[in-house]
Structure 1
């Protein structure tokens, strides 16, 4: 009988793409393995997971709304309903193990699995553990972490340091700088910045870059700008007169091309973004999203800044200071090389394989 695994979580690319990387590693290890994803209805995993060739079921679950407390009134009811549906999925599918990668759907399915005595594995991507994972850790069989020092959140005997999984099309990309620049219609001889706010975009990064567009042209610096859907039309209109130097996209599917083209990257500090930037060895300015749970993006970024492997601009200071930091880094070759060397030392290209082996141990 082939083994069966449920992988639960999502909400953003930062949870979905590592989950798919783990699934691919499991499928490579056991070709006939049966993998089912469980995500949150209406979130991007419902589109991205089937595109990757996997089945997915949705739970009607939402996260805690920190900006509008009144929107949380229905949250307990949705959580209870999700737990019932999660239990039904588990009884029907009968997995040998359940993997939680974080995100809304992760908690109900792992909680239900633990109640049914099904082994669970948590993949904690951030340097500051979320509340859900701290609760789930008590009954988890294994906790795979992407950062050192996680004993302050989890039982030490359950922790396995694996690093965070990176998509194989990034970790194993063979695209050349010339091909990448041609793809974006850019000049290979001009310095290039890649600005990315995660899969959903980043308001402060977008609003900081828009007033700088003329300066990019004046300084002869090129910009690849992933805005997210919400800001795309605004950015496209603002950049129309600077099209020679500024290339705007709502979402970039060929991230390996964007990374290869870049001399400097401006990014949020989600765990996936950091894992990818360590693998592609890029000098980076992080602008952490300050409203992430427990401000974990700032903690993620600081773990690199403290090792002189990246720079940090606070979200509320981005509009006034990002431009100076950015152009200063573009012009400072020695600092770029130092950041490149230090971030490269933190890269991990086989986390997906290591995590897949830990999942397999749950039934062996």
Structure 2
């Protein structure tokens, strides 16, 4: 079995690709995997460290408006398709999978033209521009949300498969007591996990000061707040100036970054998150109720669409970023922990949306294309 997988630009495209690749390898004998990305993207750093072979092509993303740069980009895309085709012919894959980002465009297009089975995986409710274009060429589209289907253009009903979004296996294998012990959490208190993404989220971080003041020394709740590296020092400094003693007050833990998020998720009873597709997939797989503040500058505002799905099913409360205040956040948390039945109901509805086996479903879908091709 030989697999090419392409996805890049952001962790939201790269980590699902890694998870899918490992699942395919687990389901097949003697699997050889090649990632294709760009030299400039995060994938150039992450993929080799994960132990996978990695090739690069030169490609630029399209701007979301008519411009001379887009015209130049379109001319250069032909070269990217040619480069991709050369890599594909040399590697001879049985199937090619794209997980998003503009690097997927020429790779999947070249594979399709060479009559190799192809599949894209779309994580968000609103598909990215690359996946919208590729949907006209690929054999299968695996979607993370059922609601995404209507945003693709012309497609055959059997072409789109609702699989959910792939999550790391550690998310499900991490134990609650293990997470509590590793992070210094009190097992007798409700745990609020606050994460704004790997680089943090300033609006969430700022709103949290009112939350600290409201719940400081509370015997009911403890807060684990991941601020992001760039804001950690200023936040800790402001907390000290406000008179909160992190070392002795006992229920507020501030971290710049968490290297083992699965342990934090295992310990969490309630979460405050942005609404990236991977983060939401992990929350729902664990059945964690959430307060979601979508990133307002995401392409096509896709984070709000992701968040509204959870809200519609009763698994989350959603606040647009511009409407977020510390008082509103503190009051919402207070109302939820004062009503454990509501929190429990949200947890059940979150778990009902979870797709912990999504990676396996996507891997099996890719393998079915290989079997179909060999008939």
Q: Do the two structures share a fold, i.e. TM-score over 0.5? A: yes
- Determine whether 1:257 maps to 2:255: no
Q: Distance in 2 between matches of 1:80 and 1:43?
A: 20
Aligned counterpart for 1:338 among listed residues 330, 345, 356: 345
Give the number of aligned pairs: 359
Q: Distance in 2 between matches of 1:213 and 1:145?
A: 38
State the shift of 1:81 in Å: 5.4
2:323 alignment counterpart: 317
Q: Distance in 1 between matches of 2:105 and 2:200?
A: 25
Higher gyration radius (CA):
2
1:238–1:115: structure 2 CA closer, same or farther, 3 Å change rule?
farther
State the shift of 1:162 in Å: 1.1
Equivalent residue runs for 1:342-361 within 5 Å? 342-361=349-368
SS in 2 for 1:247: strand
Aligned-pair RMSD on alpha carbons?
2.7
Decide whether the 8 Å contact of 2:112 with 2:138 is kept in 1. yes
Equivalent residue runs for 1:130-209 within 5 Å? 130-154=128-152, 155=155, 156-173=157-174, 175-177=175-177, 179-209=178-208
2:104 alignment counterpart: 106
State the shift of 1:176 in Å: 2.9
- Determine whether 1:281 maps to 2:279: no
- Determine whether 1:129 maps to 2:127: yes
State the shift of 1:127 in Å: 1.5
State the shift of 1:342 in Å: 0.9
Q: Distance in 1 between matches of 2:131 and 2:309?
A: 20
State the shift of 1:22 in Å: 0.9
Decide whether the 8 Å contact of 2:193 with 2:224 is kept in 1. yes
Q: Distance in 2 between matches of 1:205 and 1:71?
A: 35
Q: Distance in 1 between matches of 2:56 and 2:227?
A: 27
1:303–1:118: structure 2 CA closer, same or farther, 3 Å change rule?
same
2:309 alignment counterpart: 303
Gaps in structure 1 of 5+ consecutive residues: none
In the superposition, the TM-score normalised over structure 2's length comes to: 0.86
State the shift of 1:26 in Å: 0.7
Decide whether the 8 Å contact of 2:171 with 2:266 is kept in 1. no
State the shift of 1:205 in Å: 1.7
1:121–1:332: structure 2 CA closer, same or farther, 3 Å change rule?
same
1:64–1:228: structure 2 CA closer, same or farther, 3 Å change rule?
farther
1:214 alignment counterpart: 213
Decide whether the 8 Å contact of 1:99 with 1:123 is kept in 2. yes
Aligned counterpart for 2:84 among listed residues 83, 86, 89: 86
Q: Distance in 2 between matches of 1:182 and 1:172?
A: 15
Aligned counterpart for 2:29 among listed residues 27, 31, 55: 31
In the superposition, the TM-score normalised over structure 1's length comes to: 0.88
SS in 2 for 1:165: coil
State the shift of 1:147 in Å: 1.6
Q: Distance in 1 between matches of 2:282 and 2:267?
A: 14
1:202–1:31: structure 2 CA closer, same or farther, 3 Å change rule?
farther
